[in-house]
Amino acid sequence: MIWNPEKECMSREQLHELQSERLVKIVRHTYDNVPMYRERMNAAGLTPDDIKSIEDISKLPFTTKKDLRDYYPDSLFAVPRSEIVRFHASSGTTGKPIVAGYTAHDVENWSEGTARCLTAYGAGRGDTIQVSYGYGLFTGGLGAHDGATRIGAAVLPTSAGNTSKQLMLMQDLGCTGLCCTPSYALFLAEELEKEGLRDKIQLKFGAFGAEPWTENMRKELESKLGIKAYDIYGLTEISGPGVGGECQCQDGTHLWEDMFYPEIIDPATGEPLPEGKEGELVFTTLDKWGMPMIRYRTRDLTHLNYSQCACGRTMVRMGRILGRSDDMLIVRGVNVFPSQVESILLEIPEFQGQYFITIDRVNNVDTFDIDVELREEFYTDEIAQLHRLRDRLVGRIVSVIGIKPNIHIVEPGSITRSMGKAKHVEDKRKFK
């Protein structure tokens, strides 16, 4: 099923026209109403009249996370405060949070995006969707909630946490859809297994996002929960979950390009990269009026695929997010993304997807330690067997990532489980 075939399947020519029309309007709106955008455009020698079609987008200056912090809380809003009907905020690791403000139209477009995703997963009236993303300033809970309401499904707004109650309600109400982070889904799956409830649930699909996850994690969640596991992508600055989502083909995340225009740039130079090349994702919101974003640098690293998808949607597909450029660890000069470790662990049947990386610097050399767990059924106190498994994992990590970790096999269940976005890394070098 397709929620909005008129938009999701429009020809690329029509889409181009719509994007151009919308870009012209939103650039004019930001120029007239947001001093920062006006000053930046003036400094670049541009006026709104220079922006005539979507091709002109690369003339416009970028917007960054730092700008959102510098103009905290609402100086990038482009409408009077009386037009704002909702706020969300995303807390970074340092300093002030980023505040997003939405008009009624923006909230409606946001739920349109999420409704498109949920429909693509096969959901609709008659489904009961458990929303285990956190409700509150985080966009996950309310974003998924509004999308599920829009398609006429019943929502079970459990929010994150209180796992045993989540599982009881999931079972008793026969929930068919689950929205949460992939790491929380993995934890729920483990608990279901432990309680012997796996056959008592009726889940059909999961909408997983808010953090990077891998194909191997998809396989794991699908087999453990007996579902189809789909990606949902989004970020507070652009709206929230539902900037894009996968379809039944599970071959890339469709981005709703009529509302959010994506580009891939070289993170070092800012130059646009050709189709298919991995780089930093940049968005321009084409139909968002409260806090429009022009060429916002997400720091997410991915690539785009414009070939036609078998599902019939014409909208571009994004590859998996490898991670944020600021999540990338440089250990002994080698680039390491935590999601690479997840993927390798799940390739080896004896290991679980849970892990925790600790980086430190001892005598001027980086240390790279990873705590991992064996699956319950493979856990053993036989030292020789543990060493064999450890060596196998070390060998895989060396061949894929290129550096040798110290692996610590810890007891099943001892790595802290996350209810929201998982924390997989501690980098102690930062404090030295």
Residue 151 CA to residue 418 CA, distance in Å, equals 29
Instruction: Name the DSSP letter for residue 74.
Output: T
Piece of 166-174, 193-201, 226-234, 257-265 that binds ligand DLL (CB under 6 A): 226-234
Q: How far is the CB of 127 from ligand DLL (least distance, A)?
A: 18
E strands in 9-125: 84-90, 98-103
The nearer residue to ligand DLL, 243 or 311, going by C-beta atoms, is 243
One-letter amino acid for residue 114 of the chain: T
The nearer residue to ligand DLL, 176 or 298, going by C-beta atoms, is 298
Q: Which residue of 31, 37, 184, 233 would you call a contact of ligand DLL, by CB under 6 A?
A: 233
One-letter amino acid for residue 245 of the chain: G
Structure-token pair, residue 95: 């300093």
Q: How far is the CB of 81 from ligand DLL (least distance, A)?
A: 22
If one asks whether residue 209 binds ligand DLL (CB under 6 A), the answer comes out as yes
Q: Which residue of 8, 190, 220, 231 would you call a contact of ligand DLL, by CB under 6 A?
A: 231
If one asks whether residue 106 binds ligand DLL (CB under 6 A), the answer comes out as no
Q: Are strands 260-265 and 279-285 parallel, antiparallel or unpaired?
A: antiparallel
CB 240 within 8 A of CB 140: yes
Residues 272-301 interacting with ligand DLL (rule: CB under 6 A): 298, 300
The nearer residue to ligand DLL, 135 or 368, going by C-beta atoms, is 135
Q: Can you say whether residue 41 is alpha, beta or left, with left for phi > 0 and alpha for psi between -120 and 50 degrees?
A: alpha
Number of residues that bind ligand DLL (CB under 6 A): 20
Query: Residues 393-404, buried b or exposed e (16+ Cβ, 10 A)?
Result: beebbeeebeee
If one asks whether residue 205 binds ligand DLL (CB under 6 A), the answer comes out as no
If one asks whether residue 263 binds ligand DLL (CB under 6 A), the answer comes out as no
Residues 36-95 interacting with ligand DLL (rule: CB under 6 A): 90
The nearer residue to ligand DLL, 153 or 374, going by C-beta atoms, is 153
Q: How far is the CB of 133 from ligand DLL (least distance, A)?
A: 5
Name the packing angle between helices 104-120 and 139-150 (round to 10°): 70
Q: Which residue of 210, 301, 304, 359 would you call a contact of ligand DLL, by CB under 6 A?
A: 210
The nearer residue to ligand DLL, 20 or 132, going by C-beta atoms, is 132
In 3D space, the residue among 351, 346, 419, 345 whose CA is nearest the CA of residue 386 turns out to be 351
3-state secondary structure of 38: helix
Instruction: Name the DSSP letter for residue 57.
Output: G
If one asks whether residue 258 binds ligand DLL (CB under 6 A), the answer comes out as no
3-state secondary structure of 376: helix
Q: Which residue of 106, 190, 211, 342 would you call a contact of ligand DLL, by CB under 6 A?
A: 211
Lay out the sheet containing 296-302: strands in order across. 260-265, 279-285, 296-302, 323-324
Binding letters toward ligand DLL, positions 303-342, x by CB under 6 A: ------------------x--x------------------
Q: Are strands 154-156 and 177-180 parallel, antiparallel or unpaired?
A: unpaired
Comparing every residue's Cβ against ligand DLL, the nearest one is 209
The nearer residue to ligand DLL, 106 or 211, going by C-beta atoms, is 211
In 3D space, the residue among 128, 100, 112 whose CA is nearest the CA of residue 242 turns out to be 112
- Spatial CB neighbours of 72, under 8 Å, sequence gap ≥ 6: 96, 97, 98, 99
Query: Residues 129-144, buried b or exposed e (16+ Cβ, 10 A)?
Result: bbbbbbbebbbbbbbb
The nearer residue to ligand DLL, 179 or 203, going by C-beta atoms, is 179
If one asks whether residue 212 binds ligand DLL (CB under 6 A), the answer comes out as yes
Q: How far is the CB of 235 from ligand DLL (least distance, A)?
A: 4
If one asks whether residue 140 binds ligand DLL (CB under 6 A), the answer comes out as yes
The nearer residue to ligand DLL, 31 or 261, going by C-beta atoms, is 261
Q: How far is the CB of 179 from ligand DLL (least distance, A)?
A: 7
3-state secondary structure of 77: coil
The nearer residue to ligand DLL, 217 or 370, going by C-beta atoms, is 217
Structure-token pair, residue 297: 């640098």
Structure-token pair, residue 11: 């020809």
Q: Which residue of 236, 284, 314, 354 would you call a contact of ligand DLL, by CB under 6 A?
A: 236
If one asks whether residue 133 binds ligand DLL (CB under 6 A), the answer comes out as yes
Q: How far is the CB of 298 from ligand DLL (least distance, A)?
A: 5
What DSSP element (H or E) covers 167? helix 163-172
Alpha-carbon torsion, ordered 137, 140, 145, 147, to 10 deg: 120
Binding residues for ligand DLL, per CB under 6 A? 90, 133, 139-140, 209-212, 231-236, 240-241, 298, 300, 321, 324
